[in-house]
Amino acid sequence: MAAKTNPGNYFEDFRLGQEIVHATPRTVTTGDVALYCALYGGRFAVQSSDAFAGRIGFKGAPVDDLLAFHVVFGKTVPDISLNAVANLGYAEGRFGAPVYPGDTLRAVSKVIGLKENSNRQTGVVYVRSTGLNQRDEMVVEYVRWVMVRKRDVNAPAPQETVPDTARCVAAADLIVPEGLTLGGYDAALAGSPHVWDDYAVGESIDHVDGMTIEEAEHMSATRLYQNTAKVHFNQHTEGQGRFGRRLIYGGHIISLARSLSFNGLGNAFKLVAINGGRHVAPTFAGDTIYAWTRVEERLELPGRADVGALRLRTIAAKDQPCAAFPDKVDGGKDYVPSVVLDFDYTVLMPRRG
């Protein structure tokens, strides 16, 4: 009799071009939004206030872009990364239609690359995942690559295929929400006087604050996204593993860094792209996360004088205030030991014009 449980896919189970429809569509509720706020304390006005969001063209306060990302990501875990060693990186991420409470999200993925590691015990799987709402509108899409265990070290390796990905999403490919108009944007209510015009390429912003991670918080967050990765929940098995304890989902650190970035980037009201990212080192309950951001590019949007885009690079570290960070973090050997996240993304911000 065939097994009725899902052991997850191992590296040798993936095929180039394979398309996967992920299970369990998820209707996002106001309860999810409240719990997300309780976990990260986000203060961006557009996601906090129906009235504020309505004044600039949204039909209400949209769901935080990263909450939508995590829900879609969680759908993919049972098929892509249940047997993962580590999630390695992201590229070519774009946010599409805004998500509102009541929308139902589902996910599909396509395998676009495979590469066995030299130890023959693991391999890297590259996928392009897409989150869709109940109207089949794209809400988020991204490429990620993940190191996955092999079931049998002697299983033959597929032909190596590593996809080329863009360094960043071009300004012309960014999706500005339909109907967005920033004539009614109130910077005083948003909590920051600094708009797109006030940021310079190369400028670094220390977000100052730190946030300590509690065990129950990171597990609640990961369950919120229905992320079933074993390394986050099972202390019985992880206690016997490499680190001796549960690992925190890397997306939890992304959301913490985004929340911390409000202090210095309070008008960065919407994510429109994930250009790249690395989870540089693991994090655990008890770690305190700090973050700083460097402005990589200022992007003008075609036909828009009211809104511009900033390409940002946020570095998060554990147990080290960001004032002590070195300027150079451009390669693995240059990361100081405390760095846990290197995240390259693009945001929308009102322009003074």
Give 124-148 pLDDT, tens digit per residue. Answer: 999 999 999 999 999 999 999 999 9
How far from chain centre, in Å, is Cα 183? 29
pLDDT (0 to 100) of residue 250: 94
Q: What angle do CA 93, 97, 102 make, to 5 degrees?
A: 120
Query: In the predicted model, what is the mean pLDDT of residues 316-333?
Result: 70
Percent of the chain's residues with pLDDT above 70: 96
pLDDT, the chain, mean:
94
Instruction: Please state, in angstroms and rounded to a whole number, the distance separating the CA atoms of residues 63 and 65.
Output: 6
pLDDT at 235 over 90: no
Query: In the predicted model, what is the mean pLDDT of residues 251-269?
Result: 98
Give 88-107 pLDDT, tens digit per residue. Answer: 999 999 999 999 999 999 99
Q: What angle do CA 44, 47, 49 make, to 5 degrees?
A: 95
Residue identified by tokens 């593993």 is 241
Task: Tell me the sheet residues that pair with 291.
Answer: 316
Instruction: Please state, in angstroms and rounded to a whole number, the distance separating the CA atoms of residues 196 and 187.
Output: 12
Q: What sign has the CA pseudo-torsion 323, 328, 331, 335?
A: negative
The conformation of residue 161, written as its DSSP 8-state character, comes to B
181: how many CB neighbours lie within 10 A of its CB?
Answer: 12
pLDDT bucket at 2, cuts 50 / 70 / 90:
low
Residue identified by tokens 């860094």 is 257
- Catalogue all structural domains in the chain, each as residue range(s) with its CATH number: 11-155+167-350 (3.10.129.10)
Q: What is the pTM of this model?
A: 0.95
